[in-house]
Amino acid sequence: MADGDTGCKVRYADDTRQLRMNTKAEQPKGTNAADIGKLVLAGLVLAAGIFAYSWFNNDASVPGTVRLLGVLAALVVALAIAAFTAPGRRVRHFISESQFEMRKVVWPTRDETLKTTGIIIVVVIILSLLLGLIDLILKSVILDWLLKLGS
């Protein structure tokens, strides 16, 4: 049996079959009222930080760095509140899975990166010269020969 499966035997007309049931609880997909309230609160905290930044814009007694720190603090508090909702938990799970997958990536060496970049630059230069030549030929054929506007 696989991990998380339980087996139970059920009789069906002289036949014994093994049924597998998943014991892991399925997470509900919807957002409940508490999560919506937390998300609204997070939005209000962030909006209050931005409003305070704008409100104290012309006040000389509040330095710009303090206003900026206030917005950053509001952002951190709003993210902390939102992180404890179901969508926030999904985002945190996604980020942790992404970090796990990034550890598996085999990054190219510096030498491989420089060689590949050099090849791409050479190909771009060759293609731009080729397209310029085609443009010059088409211009001379259309304007000078077909329309005789060049002379």
Write out the residue range of the structural domain in which residue 63 sits: 33-104
**pLDDT at position 12, please?**
52
The pTM is what? 0.51
Conformation bin of residue 32: beta by default, left when phi > 0, alpha when psi is -120 to 50? beta
Q: Do 93 and 119 sit in the same domain of this protein?
A: no
**pLDDT at position 46, please?**
94
In this predicted structure, the answer to whether residue 27 has a pLDDT above a threshold of 50 is: yes
**pLDDT at position 38, please?**
92
Q: Do 86 and 65 sit in the same domain of this protein?
A: yes
Question: pLDDT, tens digit, for every residue of 63-118?
Answer: 889 999 999 999 999 999 999 999 999 999 999 999 999 999 999 999 999 999 99
In this predicted structure, the answer to whether residue 1 has a pLDDT above a threshold of 50 is: no
Query: What ranges make up the beta strands (E) of the chain?
Result: 5-12, 15-22
Structural domains in the chain (count): 2
